[in-house]
Amino acid sequence: MNLQRTSVLACLIYATAAIYNARTVTGADAKDAIGVVKYRTTVTGEYSYGSGIVLGNGKCMLTAAHVANGHECDMVIYKNQLSGSAGAETVTYTDQFVGATYVDAHPRWKNCDDPTRPENYCAFDLAVVQLNEFLSASPWNVSLTRGGYTDQIRLFGWGQTSNWTVPKEYPIALQMGEINNTNLENDNCTPWRSGDGAICLTSDEASEGLNCGGDSGGPGVTLTTVDGNARVTVMGVASEKYGNCGNQMSGVLAAVAGSSQKNFLDYYANFCGWHYIKYDEPDPPTVGLNQLQYPLLWVH
């Protein structure tokens, strides 16, 4: 089965949204984040890197449209492995990879350099990538609700670990940071205030900020406890930032919750095998994460 739809315009610029100064994912977190993958595309003869999340049956990757769109033929998605001792595993990528058979961007997404774009930058910056082989998937579900300004969202990705080195330094092990979801209410979220396709995130320290290159498309998840069980739910994928890498206070996730997003993702639900859940309501957990203990990992 190969789903085909009309794709939107190829992105003309490659905005970067990433986790700055995050920590390596270890232990139970690492086992469940095995589906957070690193991939590369080719742009004007050079490699451009992104992150994505493989969910459901392992046949599809959810990522940012501004990195993936139009790159079916040159995309390389690296396979992950768990490294390290029991209880202290880390996710590392390997030199083995799979390709893409098709990339479909959300129909309401406009590339970030489009002069007709609305106030909210890169809204609906979602893409579904069909893989030519199955990959290990994370056991997380897709959120039906946006979350609130008090929620903390974990960002996972493979972005730069240093802003100033040449050549750029990328981590070998998967990184994670945790920041606030302001849901567009914070003053630093002004560029995305009108965006029903966006979730604004803020950092506590402007000098360090949120974003560097290479983590665009990485999942933002929330951890909640429902009926005594831990539930990890994908709220969106890293999209855009406000300010230069390492010196900004806000960034944005392309939200997966919303009627337009759900219509888009529903088209692939059976083929990709992912599921939806209200992240904070007492539905029976289906992710298999029972009473796991997660430390608070703040960006600092």
Domain membership of residue 10 (yes or no) is: no
Give residue 7's pLDDT.
33
Sign of the CA dihedral 225, 227, 229, 234?
A: negative
Mean pLDDT value across residues 61-76: 93
Q: What is the pLDDT of residues 140-191, one digit of tens each?
A: 999 887 776 667 788 899 988 766 666 777 889 999 887 766 665 666 666 5
Number of H helices, E strands in the chain: 3, 16
Give residue 80's pLDDT band: very low, low, confident or very high (50, 70, 90). Answer: very high
How far, in Å, CA of 254 to CA of 241, rounded? 11
pLDDT digits (tens, 9 = 90+) for 188-221: 666 555 556 777 777 655 444 456 788 889 999 9
| Element containing residue 145 per DSSP (H, E) | none
In a domain, 29, yes or no: yes
Give the pLDDT confidence score for residue 14 in this predicted structure: 38
Between 68 and 286, name the one with better pLDDT. Answer: 68
Split at pLDDT 50, 70, 90, the class of 86 is: confident
| Residue scoring higher pLDDT (179 or 287) | 179
In this structure, is residue 5 part of a structural domain? Answer: no
Helix (H, G, I), strand (E, B) or coil at 66: helix
Q: Domain for residue 164, yes or no?
A: yes
Q: Of all residues in the chain, what percent carry a pLDDT higher than 70? A: 67
Say if 299 falls within a structural domain: no
Would you say residue 4 lies in a domain? no
pLDDT at position 276, please? 83
Q: Is residue 290 part of a domain?
A: no
Query: 30: helix, coil or strand?
Result: helix
In a domain, 182, yes or no: yes
Other Cβ atoms closer than 10 A to 96? 10
Tell me: the pLDDT tens digits for 263-285? 899 999 999 999 888 766 655 43
Question: Considering the entire predicted model, what is its pTM?
Answer: 0.82
DSSP collapsed to 3 states, 162-208: CCCCCCCCCCCECEEEEEEECCCCCHHHHHHCCCCCEEEEECCCCCC
CATH, residue 64: 2.40.10.120
Per-residue pLDDT averaged across 105-123, rounded? 65
- What is the 8-class DSSP label of residue 84? S
Name the pLDDT band for 73 (thresholds 50, 70, 90).
very high
pLDDT at 68: 93
> How far apart are the C-alpha atoms of 163 and 276, rounded to whole Å?
36
Domain total in the chain: 1
Can you give the residue range of the structural domain that contains 229? 23-277
